[in-house]
């Protein structure tokens, strides 16, 4: 009998109940008891939903109030001194680690642990710092507690835990630790805690445990055969039956050692990497390791093609027998919204394409049933829906397809090399040395958001809304005039979000009402969904930029979100490649860039903060990605003449390893985040002989703190020691939308004063 399994489930709760109670606990409006009570009822709700969907193997222990990796550190007693010394109760210590804690009256001010992106998803884990002297002890056995809690409800679960190697690979290393320290060196100290935890589970009668080892899909894990052997040979004798999961990629050469581990089953991500199945089946055939096929995507929101999934699973069944095969989700469902059933504004056709967490549970169950010889009505309906979707896909926008097919080399390049363009732009823009500018957005005030809410609800007319936005733009222009900036922006008041704003104006996107997906802690985003070929029915930003330009003689910088970033922060289609989708977006943006230039906008910034995070997990896949990603940027920006200055902006700047690609973007000006790092990253630019203009952010916009004038002068001086002064632009780290006007005025005044000083002194 093939069984169905789900690896994990969203934590938000129906009606966002978890998010609400957690935030009201933080605000002091709910008690810890109320919080725990809601958490308990949400866990029940999750287990019952999964069970009622017909799933055989139900997860527990992966629920969290903030983040699952943070839970592990806390449960293992890794609580750095700066939190432990606050004399807080357990829950508040835990939250302080996740989000910091400030209580001016009590003189408490501790920053949060750093966060990091979880594999290539938009979820962020909390990375508690570890050092050589870190000690582990089992503070609490969350897996056991949740197992018992579910059991009391009559539901038998499979507890979930990160494997020790993945855990140590994801946590941070303490600043005080020696430079060559690796948390993985703590493995021997950590193992006893895992043994204790797992033997408690076994003692309580737990039959199966799911050990998540997503680190297995990275190149570096291929060298960890002896570590994996050591860990699982130590754990297997004391633990329930172990299923190791390998979400987000392929296990690659690691299968060589995985096949000899003493485990019950190995899970594969067949959504991302269906091709790995044959090799893994061949490797497992002569062992007694079973296989769990991750066929239902935990990462996208599309209905699974159950017939195709079944065919793949049948291959495994015929190689190994149905006793040795289970089917499951490719990863936890935490990356998907909770349920399609609550969406009221999508058409029935659109709804028939989608599958969120609850529906994915039903799909895994239907798949297992079908493999056991019983095709349910859901399976039949799925076959029809998939056929209809395929039909829809065929009715694609042939004009868009043809245009993508006829992209030429010439369309990917500016007319002249940078040196020539630069001369043309100099005349045209007339900017001083050390020109000052900002990254685009100005404070998104309550008034702006209220005006937008009223417009969405139909309480004010389109004209009234646009008038309000024009007034904001006028205000931004006056502000920049007063402060004395050189290259202006319109301030982006009309944008709800830098991706959604464009998605709403392009053909090919749909939007959910309640499709919230966890980004970190209690922060959730609602990514747009690409459903069909993308095109631009009419100009998107020209009207606002042209209006802003009409108010001033200073050059106005147009502001767009780049193709790679729009795609990365949306749910992409599954039927065409990301490359094709990115190129479609690039063509739409290319037209926008040309229209902006024709409307007299002389500088245009195309933001690509997500270009680095879209990098594939395995190095072998980098070249292909970087080629199309950089080509997409070039395609979107190369339609204009030499005298248009093309800018780009990246929030993060750890691109040492992909530097040639940053260079190949061939933007006239780039702005990067640089205030927090020391200026070492500029050495990379220097060592590559980077010759285009660059604005390393001179202050951090993530905090309300106002940088002093001297501080910015020092920064500029240090920058001018590494890079030619003529190539330097003066700007903050990122957009100012989350800041208030007062601190923005003080900060930018200091920035302008420092730049003026630099002009005569550096």
CB of 443 to ligand GLN, least distance (A): 11
Alpha-carbon separation of residue 693 from 465, 626, 685 (angstroms): 37, 22, 11
Q: How many residues bind ligand GLN (CB under 6 A)?
A: 13
Following DSSP, what letter does each residue of 339-376 receive, concatenated?
-GGG--SS-HHHHTTB--HHHHHHHHHHHHHHHTT---
Q: Which is nearer to ligand GLN, 573 or 737 (CB)?
A: 737
Q: What is the DSSP letter of 5?
A: E
Residue 559 site contact among Zn ion, ligand GLN, none (CB < 5 to 8 Å, cut-off depends on kind): ligand GLN
The full 3-state SS of 637-684, as one line of letters, equals HCCCCCCCEEEEEECCCCCHHHHHHHHHCCCCEEEECCCCCCCHHHHH
CB of 102 to Zn ion, least distance (A): 24
With beta carbons less than 8 A apart as the criterion, state whether 321 and 285 touch: no
- Residue whose entry in the numeric block shows the structure tokens 């769990």: 292
* Nearest in space to 255 (alpha carbons), one of 302, 221, 294, 288: 221
673 is in an annotated binding site: yes
Q: H-helix or E-strand containing 41? A: helix 32-52
Q: Which is nearer to Zn ion, 603 or 734 (CB)?
A: 734
Among 46, 158, 647, 649, binds ligand GLN (CB under 6 A): 649
Mention every residue, 6+ apart, whose C-beta is less than 8 A from residue 553.
none
Q: Name the one range near ligand GLN by CB under 6 A: 260-268, 374-382, 438-446, 753-761.
A: 438-446
CA 511 to chain centre: 18
Q: Which is nearer to ligand GLN, 316 or 559 (CB)?
A: 559
CB of 734 to ligand GLN, least distance (A): 5
Asked if 358 interacts with ligand GLN (CB under 6 A), we say: no
50 is in an annotated binding site: no
651 is in an annotated binding site: yes
CB of 524 to ligand GLN, least distance (A): 17
Chain residues 493-512 in contact with ligand GLN, contact rule CB under 6 A? 498
Q: Name the one range near ligand GLN by CB under 6 A: 421-429, 446-454, 637-645, 730-738.
A: 730-738
Q: How many CA atoms lie within 13 A of 628 on its CB side?
A: 21
| Interface map 585-604 toward ligand GLN (x if CB under 6 A) | --------------------
* Nearest in space to 672 (alpha carbons), one of 749, 748, 607: 607
With beta carbons less than 8 A apart as the criterion, state whether 691 and 421 touch: no
Q: Name the one range near ligand GLN by CB under 6 A: 436-444, 527-535, 704-712, 717-725.
A: 436-444
Residue 692 site contact among Zn ion, ligand GLN, none (CB < 5 to 8 Å, cut-off depends on kind): none
Q: What is the DSSP letter of 178?
A: -
Mention every residue, 6+ apart, whose C-beta is less than 8 A from residue 403.
587
- Among residues 124, 335, 490, 702, which one is catalytic? 702
> 694: exposed, middle or buried (C-beta count within 10 Å: 0-12, 13-18, 19+)?
buried
Which pair of structure tokens corresponds to residue 53? 């969907």
Chain residues 460-499 in contact with ligand GLN, contact rule CB under 6 A? 492, 498
CB of 169 to ligand GLN, least distance (A): 28
742 is in an annotated binding site: no
Asked if 737 interacts with ligand GLN (CB under 6 A), we say: yes
Alpha-carbon separation of residue 361 from 47, 64, 378, 557 (angstroms): 11, 20, 12, 48
Residue 124 is a catalytic residue: no
Mention every residue, 6+ apart, whose C-beta is less than 8 A from residue 285.
319, 320
CB of 463 to ligand GLN, least distance (A): 26
Asked if 562 interacts with ligand GLN (CB under 6 A), we say: no
Angle, in degrees to the nearest 10, between helices 68-75 and 90-99: 130
| Interface map 149-188 toward ligand GLN (x if CB under 6 A) | ----------------------------------------
649 is in an annotated binding site: yes
CB of 565 to ligand GLN, least distance (A): 8
Asked if 439 interacts with ligand GLN (CB under 6 A), we say: yes
Beta-strand pair 241-245/208-212: parallel
**Shortest Cβ contact with ligand GLN: which residue?**
735
Residue 498 site contact among Zn ion, ligand GLN, none (CB < 5 to 8 Å, cut-off depends on kind): ligand GLN
Among 216, 291, 734, 748, binds ligand GLN (CB under 6 A): 734
Can you give the binding site for Zn ion, defined by CB under 5 A?
Answer: 609, 651, 734
Angle, in degrees to the nearest 10, between helices 578-598 and 542-550: 30
With beta carbons less than 8 A apart as the criterion, state whether 236 and 263 touch: yes
CB of 639 to Zn ion, least distance (A): 24
With beta carbons less than 8 A apart as the criterion, state whether 44 and 109 touch: no
Q: Which is nearer to Zn ion, 124 or 250 (CB)?
A: 124
Mention every residue, 6+ apart, whose C-beta is less than 8 A from residue 82.
110
Asked if 557 interacts with ligand GLN (CB under 6 A), we say: no
Residue 440 site contact among Zn ion, ligand GLN, none (CB < 5 to 8 Å, cut-off depends on kind): ligand GLN
Asked if 665 interacts with ligand GLN (CB under 6 A), we say: no
Q: Is 110 helix (H, G, I), strand (E, B) or coil?
A: strand
Q: Which is nearer to Zn ion, 143 or 648 (CB)?
A: 648
Which pair of structure tokens corresponds to residue 268? 């594969």
Mention every residue, 6+ apart, whose C-beta is less than 8 A from residue 579.
628
Beta-strand pair 124-127/241-245: unpaired
Asked if 440 interacts with ligand GLN (CB under 6 A), we say: yes
122 is in an annotated binding site: yes
CA distance 693 to 429: 14
Q: Identify any residues that bridge with 292 across adjacent strands, giving them in sequence order.
A: 267, 326
Among 252, 294, 337, 609, binds ligand GLN (CB under 6 A): 609
Q: Identify any residues that bridge with 217 across adjacent strands, giving them in sequence order.
A: none
Asked if 514 interacts with ligand GLN (CB under 6 A), we say: no
The b-or-e profile of 324-334 (16+ CB within 10 A means b, else e) is bbbbbbbbbbb
Residue 737 site contact among Zn ion, ligand GLN, none (CB < 5 to 8 Å, cut-off depends on kind): ligand GLN
Q: Identify any residues that bridge with 108 across adjacent strands, giving them in sequence order.
A: 103
Asked if 651 interacts with ligand GLN (CB under 6 A), we say: yes
CB of 671 to ligand GLN, least distance (A): 9
Q: How many residues does the chain have?
A: 762
Q: Name the one range near ligand GLN by CB under 6 A: 173-181, 284-292, 312-320, 434-442.
A: 434-442
CB of 391 to ligand GLN, least distance (A): 38
CB of 497 to Zn ion, least distance (A): 13
CA dihedral over 347, 353, 356, 358, signed as positive or negative: positive
Q: Is 294 helix (H, G, I), strand (E, B) or coil?
A: strand
Q: Which is nearer to ligand GLN, 208 or 649 (CB)?
A: 649
Q: Which is nearer to Zn ion, 96 or 439 (CB)?
A: 439
Q: Which residues are annotated as a binding site for L-methionine?
A: 439-441, 492, 607
* Residues forming the active site: 702
Binding residues for Zn(2+): 649, 651, 673, 734
Which residues form the interface with ligand GLN (CB under 6 A)? 439-441, 492, 498, 559, 607, 609, 649, 651, 734-735, 737
Residues flagged as binding site? 19, 122, 439-441, 492, 569, 607, 649, 651, 673, 734
User: Residues marked as binding for 5-methyltetrahydropteroyltri-L-glutamate?
Assistant: 19, 122, 569
């Amino acid at each position: 009998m093939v069984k169905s399994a789900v690896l994990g489930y969203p934590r938000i709760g129906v009606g966002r109940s978890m998010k609400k109670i957690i935030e009201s606990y933080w605000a002091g409006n709910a008690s810890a008891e109320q919080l725990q009570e809601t958490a308990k009822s949400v866990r029940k709700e999750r287990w019952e939903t999964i069970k009622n969907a017909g799933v055989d193997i139900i997860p527990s222990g992966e629920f969290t109030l903030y983040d699952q990796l943070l839970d592990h550190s806390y449960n293992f007693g890794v609580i750095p001194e700066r939190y432990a010394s606050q004399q807080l109760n357990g829950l508040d210590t835990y939250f302080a680690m996740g989000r910091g804690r400030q209580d001016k009256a009590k003189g408490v001010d501790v920053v949060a642990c750093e966060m990091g992106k979880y594999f290539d998803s938009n979820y962020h884990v909390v990375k508690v710092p570890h050092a050589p002297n870190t000690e582990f002890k089992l503070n609490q056995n969350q897996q056991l507690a949740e197992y018992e809690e579910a059991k009391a409800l009559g539901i038998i679960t499979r507890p979930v835990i990160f494997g020790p190697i993945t855990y140590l690979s994801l946590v941070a290393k303490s600043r005080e630790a020696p430079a060559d320290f690796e948390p993985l060196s703590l493995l021997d100290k950590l193992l006893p805690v895992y043994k204790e935890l797992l033997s408690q589970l076994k003692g309580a009668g737990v039959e199966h445990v799911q050990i998540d080892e997503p680190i297995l899909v990275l190149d570096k894990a291929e060298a960890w055969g002896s570590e994996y052997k050591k860990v699982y040979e130590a754990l297997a004798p004391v633990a329930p039956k172990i299923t190791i999961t390998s979400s987000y990629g392929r296990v690659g050469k690691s299968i060589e050692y995985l096949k000899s581990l003493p485990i019950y089953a190995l899970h594969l991500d067949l959504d991302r990497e269906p091709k790995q199945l044959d090799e893994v089946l061949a490797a497992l055939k002569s062992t007694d390791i079973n296989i769990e096929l991750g066929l239902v995507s935990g990462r996208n929101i599309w209905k699974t093609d159950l017939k195709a999934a079944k065919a793949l699973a049948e291959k495994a069944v015929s190689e190994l027998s149905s006793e040795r095969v289970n089917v499951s989700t490719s990863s936890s469902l935490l990356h998907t919204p909770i349920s399609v059933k609550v969406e009221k504004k999508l058409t029935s056709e659109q709804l028939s394409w989608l599958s969120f967490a609850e529906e994915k549970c039903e799909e895994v169950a239907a798949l297992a049933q079908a493999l056991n010889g019983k095709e349910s009505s859901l399976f039949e309906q799925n076959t029809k829906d998939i056929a209809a979707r395929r039909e829809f896909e065929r009715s694609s926008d042939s004009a868009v397809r043809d245009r993508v097919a006829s992209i030429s080399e010439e369309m990917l390049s500016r007319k002249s090399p940078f040196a020539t363009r630069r001369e043309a732009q100099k005349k045209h823009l007339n900017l001083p040395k050390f020109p000052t500018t900002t990254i685009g957005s100005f404070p998104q005030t309550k008034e702006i958001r209220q005006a937008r809410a009223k417009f969405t609800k139909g309480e004010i007319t389109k004209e009234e809304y646009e008038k309000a936005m024009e007034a904001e733009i006028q205000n931004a222009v006056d502000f920049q005039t007063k402060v004395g900036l050189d290259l202006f922006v319109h301030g982006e008041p009309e944008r709800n979000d830098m991706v959604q704003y464009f998605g709403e104006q392009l053909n090919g996107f749909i939007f959910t009402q309640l499709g919230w997906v966890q980004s970190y802690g209690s922060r959730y985003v609602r990514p747009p969904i690409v459903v069909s070929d993308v095109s631009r029915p009419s100009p998107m930003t020209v009207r606002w930029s042209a209006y802003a330009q009409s108010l001033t003689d200073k050059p106005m910088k147009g502001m767009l979100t780049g193709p790679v970033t729009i795609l990365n922060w949306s749910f992409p289609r599954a039927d065409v490649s990301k490359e094709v989708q990115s190129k479609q977006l690039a063509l739409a943006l290319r037209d926008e860039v040309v229209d902006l230039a024709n409307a007299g906008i002389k500088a245009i910034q195309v933001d690509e903060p997500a270009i680095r995070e879209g990098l594939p997990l395995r190095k072998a896949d980098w070249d292909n990605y970087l080629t199309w990603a950089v080509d997409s940027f070039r395609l979107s920006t190369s339609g204009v003449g030499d005298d248009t200055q093309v800018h780009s902006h990246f929030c993060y700047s750890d691109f040492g390893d992909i530097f040639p690609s940053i260079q190949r973007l061939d933007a006239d000006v780039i702005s990067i985040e640089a205030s927090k790092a020391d200026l070492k990253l500029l050495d990379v630019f220097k060592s590559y002989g980077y010759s285009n203009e660059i604005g390393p952010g001179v202050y951090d916009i993530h905090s309300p703190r106002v940088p002093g004038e001297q501080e910015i002068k020092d920064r500029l001086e240090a920058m001018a020691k590494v890079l030619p002064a003529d190539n330097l632009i003066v700007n903050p780290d990122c957009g100012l939308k989350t800041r208030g006007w007062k601190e923005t005025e003080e900060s930018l005044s200091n920035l302008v004063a420092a730049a003026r000083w630099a002009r005569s002194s550096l």
